[in-house]
Amino acid sequence: MQFVSTRGGGKDAPVGFRQAVFQGLAPDGGLYHPLEEPDLSGIIRGFSPSTSFTELAFRMTRALFSQELTEDQADQLCRRAFPFEPALSRLGPGHLLLELFHGPSCAFKDFGASYLANVMQTFLDGRSQRAIILTATSGDTGSAVAQAFHGKDAIDVVILYPSGRVSPSQEQQLTTLGGNVHALEVQGSFDDCQSLVKQAFTDPALSKDLPLTSANSINLGRLIPQSFYYLWAASRDLESLDPGSSAPGTSVRSASASGASSSSPAAPRPGKSGPGTFCVPSGNFGNLTAGILARRWGMAADGFIAATNANDVVPQYLETGDYQPRPSIPTHANAMDVGSPSNFERMSALFQGDFHAMARLIRGESSNNQQILDTMKDYYQRQGVYLCPHTAAGVRAGDRALKEGTAQRVITLATAHPAKFPEIARLATGTEPAMPQRLADVMSRTKQATLIDPTLEALGAFLRDSFRS
């Protein structure tokens, strides 16, 4: 599989997976996206409810990257990356929850981060090369990256976070791993952290001296494996989990049942309707983009719901065709506080800029803070179910689609464990969910972080002192 920049207009030379992974961003500032859309429907049809997540990941890795990873490497990679799995539970008639919070940091980002870490380690193995991952976090994403790369011997991770502006539990998750995970407590804002990382990548002297690379959510090594859990969900026995909700043959969307066979290679395949509509709580839209990829490759799905909080740039676009990025506003679902989603460019490229094609497949729905709290409260009071605030925005959107009849069955992605956001849970329900042991353990460990000024000099000095051989 080969990749080109979203901005290259097809004229740039395609790169392989390895280069796309280590480079992160294309040289012209665009995002890498697949040059061709392989038809993997044969492989995808071979997945059954008894196919484990690791096995599914392995078969997809083989199908996508056989030129760059041997069968052995792909096997090792998927075993190491996924000691955890997704799970499906039933929320109500027609509404399933795809639980993606069973990994080390209790959020869906564990899937992408863990695969990326193991891909990088695999590519570096035996080459006596090293990599230094530089990443800025406002709190939540850093912990998945820290956990994923911890203990990878060819890689160091440097995480910049704004001093005093992350929650105590987030800080514990970032600062207590030690080993190859280095936490830099920056005396500044999250924007300062992000700007420092950007400056370091573009500083010629630093990038000459040190093998700096990124691990943010636009990296293909994180994006691609996120398609695996859609495929996993679509291959379970949904009818026995949720009897009677799907109406095969009377699907909302018409599409050729046999999928792709007649379409030309250049045009996106129409895709197959199938066991339900995926509802995706979204911020930077990496997760949703991964779902669209899965459908392009041959997964059956009726469509997608882009569920946002009050940062509703994409739902607005899907309604009006007018894309108006703007500064983000803070909400209770803060991992989705994004006013200019970084993956929108990639989503748009997948539909070749065709707004109508995108709007046919994806519906938007935004929820404000009150609606998020009400949904959390409602599910807690009626069913004793805690939802994380991000998941709640999705669940509300999914419930609306079921009520309005625009979806027969909804599979909402549960993006984080509710115990990661105890303050919001208390606000909504008056109580807090129990912490999984792996989160509780983190709270008792000792913080190790280096305090630095928000300057490139300070960051450069730390990097050179720590890593220059």
Contacts with ligand PLP in 45-104 (CB under 6 A)? Answer: none
Stretch that binds ligand PLP, among 65-73, 114-122, 123-131, 284-292 (CB under 6 A): 284-292
- The verdict on 345 binding ligand PLP (CB under 6 A) reads no
- The verdict on 417 binding ligand PLP (CB under 6 A) reads no
Q: Contacting ligand PLP (CB under 6 A), which of 152, 296, 390, 396? A: 390
- The verdict on 336 binding ligand PLP (CB under 6 A) reads yes
* C-alpha–C-alpha distance, residues 461 and 169, integer Å: 28
Q: Contacting ligand PLP (CB under 6 A), which of 335, 395, 407, 435? A: 335
Stretch that binds ligand PLP, among 20-28, 68-76, 147-155, 279-287 (CB under 6 A): 279-287
Least Å distance, CB 162 to ligand PLP, is 17
- The verdict on 147 binding ligand PLP (CB under 6 A) reads no
- The verdict on 364 binding ligand PLP (CB under 6 A) reads no
- The verdict on 314 binding ligand PLP (CB under 6 A) reads no
Stretch that binds ligand PLP, among 49-57, 262-270, 283-291, 295-303 (CB under 6 A): 283-291
- The verdict on 409 binding ligand PLP (CB under 6 A) reads no
CA 448 to chain centre: 27
Closer CB to ligand PLP, residue 94 or residue 341? 341
- The verdict on 415 binding ligand PLP (CB under 6 A) reads yes
CA 4 to chain centre: 20
429, burial (CB in 10 Å: exposed 0-12, middle 13-18, buried 19+): buried
Total chain residues near ligand PLP (CB under 6 A): 16
Strands 32-34 and 3-5, sheet pairing: antiparallel
- Start-to-end CA span in the chain (Å): 35
- The verdict on 318 binding ligand PLP (CB under 6 A) reads no
Closer CB to ligand PLP, residue 107 or residue 119? 107
- The verdict on 433 binding ligand PLP (CB under 6 A) reads no
- The verdict on 274 binding ligand PLP (CB under 6 A) reads no
**Which amino acid is present at 4?**
V
Stretch that binds ligand PLP, among 69-77, 187-195, 275-283, 295-303 (CB under 6 A): 275-283
Contact 161, 136 (CB under 8 A): yes
- The verdict on 169 binding ligand PLP (CB under 6 A) reads no
- The verdict on 439 binding ligand PLP (CB under 6 A) reads no
Contact 116, 21 (CB under 8 A): yes
Tell me how crowded residue 206 is: count the other CB atoms within 10 A of its CB: 18
- The verdict on 367 binding ligand PLP (CB under 6 A) reads no
Residues in contact with ligand PLP by CB under 6 A are 107, 109, 140, 217, 281-287, 335-336, 390, 415-416
